[in-house]
Amino acid sequence: MKTKDFIREDYEEYQDEAGMVKSNLHTIIRSAEELDQLIHDNENMAEWAQEKIAIVKSMIVTVKDYVASEHELCAAKTVAETASAGATASGAIATSMGGGAGFGKSVFMSRSDRVKKAKKR
């Protein structure tokens, strides 16, 4: 096998990472539901079994929090980029409207400009 073929196979192996995760999650859900049916109310459970369930819960919550945070960061970045693009466009409009008769410096005067004018009065 050539190195090139090995790299291609390795690359193709990781193309469906989300699919693999979802498959594992469905297995976890199915097993948890079956386990829930097997355990009777007020049944004593071995301490090691309780600990294993607690560890799995902790790990699932950790991964869920990570994915949620990544999605929130991505969404915030998209909003910031959109706002930045909008600010650039509105800046162009504001400067194109300023300087005309009756407009003074600009219709979209900054706060500091308004404060300066108020102090002069």
Going by pLDDT thresholds of 50, 70 and 90, the confidence category of residue 7 is low
- Report the SS3 class of residue 11: helix
Going by pLDDT thresholds of 50, 70 and 90, the confidence category of residue 10 is low
Model pLDDT for residues 22-38, shown as the tens digit of each residue: 999 999 999 999 999 99
Q: What's the rounded Cα separation, in Å, for the pair 55 and 63?
A: 12
In a domain, 26, yes or no: yes
Q: Which domain holds residue 10?
A: 1-39
- pTM of the predicted model, to two decimals? 0.54
Give the count of alpha carbons within 13 A of 108, CB side only: 10
In a domain, 83, yes or no: no
- pLDDT: is 116 or 40 the higher one? 40
- pLDDT: is 47 or 83 the higher one? 47
The pLDDT score that the predictor gives to residue 103 is 47
Domain count, the chain: 1
In a domain, 74, yes or no: no
Q: What's the rounded Cα separation, in Å, for the pair 105 and 85?
A: 23
In a domain, 78, yes or no: no
